[in-house]
Amino acid sequence: MAEQLPLIAARARCTKPLARFLSQTHSRRIAAELIHDLCDAAFLYHRGDLTNAHIEFLLADNLILRELWEQMNRPAERPIQSVTPHPLQVTPRWQWEVKTRNLRLFFPQQTINCPSMPTTMVVKKERYPVRATWQNETWQIEPFSLAHLPLEWPEPAPFKAELLNAEGKGLRRWMIAPPSSGALFFHSNQTGLLAFYQDSEKGLAEGEYLVLLRHGLRLEQSEGNPAVLYGERPPQGFSGYVAQCQHLKPPLKVYDRYSDKDEDCLQRIPLLPETSQALRLEGELLSQADDPQGVPTYKGNPPTLLIPAESRAAVQDLQLQLRELSASHNAVTKWFSLRDLLKGRQAVWSELRRQMSVPLDGLLSQRQSGRFRVRLLHGLQRSRFAHLEFNWVPQLHIAPTEEAFAQTLFEDGVPPAVELVGPEVSHLSSTSGTVKLVMRGFYEIRWAAQQNDFTALLTFGNFQLPLRWHPHVLRARLAIKNAAASWLTEPLKFKFDDLTFERELIIQGIPDARYQIKANERNIHEGSFDKHGLLHFQLAQFKDRIKALTEPIALLRLSVRFGQRTHHLSLMWVVKETALRNGVQLGEQLAYLREGQQVLHPNYGTGQLETFVNDQIEGEAIHLARFHFFKYGGVAIYIPSTRYLPVYSGKRPLDIFVSQQPATPRVRVFTVESATVSFDATTSENQL
């Protein structure tokens, strides 16, 4: 709000003294606090939670606020004909999803004053849906995050984000400059799964930060180098950065690694004085919750509020305000005196820990699930404690648990699946998976192994809670110049010359598991997954080993031994130069192949010869080979036996694909889009 006060003063045509008070840097923060407190009082008065006399009593200790409130309640000299609301434009913020290694853009809740419903957010050519509800003659847009943005990290160009209605008309737009620097700082939330970008140009407060530091740079503070608590894997696109959790004590300086001269300092980061003190919550966290704002979610018993203070007398005169943010319009904001809670033994002061504990179990109305905000106030004026928000839901049973999920390796044949049981759950849905209702309050969710997001949406009446899982799935994808494709559904196909350093193979597995990579069943590489369960290979790394093979075609497979099972993943086929010399005569003539022989077709991919058949086409006898290509399950493809195809003559490495295909009858029909094509003697496989 403080940043937009000069614009508000200009729109409201304020007097010059008031405009200066709202616009000058040293007074803008104080003005924003006054306006915020007055808006909160007006909201409570409009809702009927507080009467005018009650508000004046709570403002008795603040003469400025009380004078402003009395002026606001005086009858207008002239009747007000109409009021046009001008909602403030929210400022999006960057977030770092630590486990998925994505930087996403978060938009807080916002209000749009227009007749048409907002439906879509557009970034470049990508479209993202938004949810909006009609309230108080305006559209209320729920908070949302934009992940997998089409940006070229780590130094993307500024871009435009535009909010559109159903007709494609622009309602609001933003020009966004992504964070781009040699040192980026993020504050982690209570779950450790989400971190929020902090603008270091304004300064940093003392505390723990997730730091992205470009290779070749270092941080220095007055006490020397910052203490490194643990390491993380940097977000996708930041391969030239190191990610660490550090305890920082600003002011800080950013230097080149080999320089310590003050004139060589690349960036200076000042100390940001803390204007408020943090409250804390203690309870059982729901680790699968994925709130867009990073607000922690508790399950079972409501959490306990912890208030740090030097003495009991420093906080006992404060008022505790508990407001339900997700409830219907008839919800009431509750007020509690900390002094009364201490007398009634609903709060406990610990002299040893120097903190007051307030269990929220007895303060929540009917223990209804939802989103809540806690504030400590002097009357209606904010105190030195920052407000705190949290979600609370009843006890849920989720199987497998987060710990079991972390110890399970899924694959294409055994994709991730979850059971969720909650008697008070109204509904469960998923845009990335399939949800099955077993019985009331009992749901099953399944996802394909190639999904990027394993998410669901949990509903308790009017309250909706996003959920997200992070399974370990054995899968691979190709990256070219730092841009990754989707997860593979079948092995890649390359010529030998395609194995370059520009192409990178990314394999996901499970942390620290041992693996082997085999080419035609010969071991060519082995090792262990890193602590994040990932492997990275430039394709050129396999060239020498493949070149040494005698076979013209090589199949690379990955074997992972984990627990009591050995998991297999076919990575890619490589056709060597010797196999390409004969042009169309590549491989073996089909007439001399045995049934069950595996082949590699340039268009259909990997397949297997099932049998030979004789057919009459226009009175001419044709000898055909019937193939089952694994890319086209349930379809039989017939090729004249005089043709040539590359074959694999070793052991049977493709059996893993055969076992995954459904046992469906083969039919001699080819479907191309909506047309059905018949096979005749003049039709080649390329035409099909």
Task: Return the HEC string of 137-165.
Answer: CEEEECCEEECCCCCCCCCCCCEEEEEEE
- Low-confidence winner among 236-250, 330-344, 475-489 (lowest mean pLDDT): 475-489
d(CA 358, CA 375): 13
Residue 89: CB atoms within 10 A of its CB come to 13
Q: Are 542 and 499 in contact (CB under 8 A)?
A: yes
Distances (CA, A) of 610 to 439, 622, 627, 634: 44, 17, 6, 13
Hey, CA dihedral for 51, 57, 61, 67, is it positive or negative? positive
> Rounded to whole angstroms, how far apart are CA atoms 1 and 5?
6
Q: Which two tokens stand for residue 436?
A: 């099955």
In a domain, 82, yes or no: no
Sign for the pseudo-dihedral over CA of 600, 606, 610, 614: negative
- Three-state DSSP at 314 gives helix
- Are 349 and 422 part of one and the same domain? no
Q: Which of 154, 176, 198 is the last residue of a domain?
A: 176
> Are residues 189 and 121 part of one domain?
no
Could you tell me if 597 and 643 lie in one domain?
Answer: yes
Does the pLDDT value for residue 450 go beyond 70?
A: yes
Phi, psi of 546 (to 5 degrees): -70, -35
For 548, the 3-state DSSP assignment is coil
Residue type present at position 586: L
Q: What local confidence, expressed as pLDDT, does residue 558 receive? A: 94
75-94 per-position pLDDT tens digit: 766 665 555 666 667 789 99
Residue 274 lies in a domain: no
Res 584 pLDDT > 50: no
Asked if 488 and 478 count as a contact pair (C-beta separation under 8 A), the reply is yes
pLDDT at 42 over 80: no
Note the pLDDT of residue 369. 86
Omega before 75 within 30 of 0, i.e. cis:
no
CATH classification of the domain holding 543: 2.60.40.10
Q: Is residue 491 part of a domain?
A: yes
User: Using alpha carbons only, how large is the chain's radius of gyration in Å?
Assistant: 32
Residue 298 lies in a domain: yes
**67 Cβ neighbours under 8 A, 6+ residues apart:** none
Residue 157: give its domain's CATH number: 2.60.40
Asked whether residue 616 carries a pLDDT value surpassing 90, the answer given is no
One-letter amino acid for residue 669 of the chain? V
Give the integer Cα–Cα distance in Å for 186 and 98: 11
Structure tokens at 440: 């009331």
Dihedral angle, C-alpha 94, 100, 102, 107, nearest 10 °: -40
Query: Are residues 125 and 162 in contact, defined by beta-carbon separation less than 8 angstroms?
Result: no
Residue 670 has pLDDT above 60, yes or no: no
Q: What is the pLDDT of residue 378?
A: 82
Which distant-in-sequence residues (6+ apart) come within 8 Å of 63 by Cβ? none
**CATH code for position 602:** 2.30.30.30
Asked whether residue 402 is domain-assigned, the answer is yes
Question: Could you list the residue range(s) of the whole structural domain that residue 256 is in?
Answer: 183-269
Same domain, 432 and 522: no
For residue 298, the one-letter residue type is: Y
Boundary (domain end) residue, out of 218, 247, 269: 269
319 strand-pairing partners: 337, 377
Whether pTM > 0.95 for this model: the answer is no
Verify that 596 and 634 share a domain, yes or no: yes
**Cα(295)–Cα(297) distance, integer angstroms:** 7
Asked if residue 461 and residue 487 are part of one domain, the reply reads: no
**C-alpha to C-alpha distance for 598 and 646, rounded to whole angstroms:** 9
- Token pair in block for residue 532: 């994040």
Is 81 contained in some domain? no
Query: Do 111 and 169 belong together in one domain?
Result: yes
Are both 324 and 367 inside the same structural domain?
A: yes
- Quickly state the pLDDT bin for 666 (edges 50, 70, 90): very low
**Cβ pair 291, 389 in contact under 8 A:** no
pLDDT at 456: 94
State mean pLDDT over 292-300.
89
Please give the tally of structural domains in the chain: 7
The share of the chain scoring above pLDDT 90, in percent, equals 29
Dihedral through CA 679, CA 680, CA 682, CA 688, nearest 10? 0
Same domain, 335 and 402: no
Instruction: Tell me what pLDDT residue 412 has.
Output: 84
Q: Whose CA is closest to 431, among 131, 207, 77?
A: 131
CA distance 600 to 592: 16
- Please tell me whether residues 383 and 330 are part of one structural domain: yes
Q: Phi first, then psi: what are they for 188, rounded to 5°?
A: -80, 145
Contacts of 74 (CB under 8 A, 6+ apart): none
Q: Does one domain contain both 620 and 658? A: yes
- Cα separation, 61 vs 317, in Å, equals 13
For residue 568, the number of C-alpha atoms closer than 13 Å in the C-beta half-sphere is: 16
What average pLDDT does the segment 168-186 reach? 89
Whether the per-residue pLDDT at 225 is higher than 70: the answer is: yes
Q: Which of 581, 596, 622 is the last residue of a domain?
A: 581
In terms of domains, do 151 and 172 share one?
yes
Q: Residue 298, SS3?
A: strand
Mean pLDDT of the chain: 81
Least confident range of 27-31, 166-170, 303-307, 668-672:
668-672
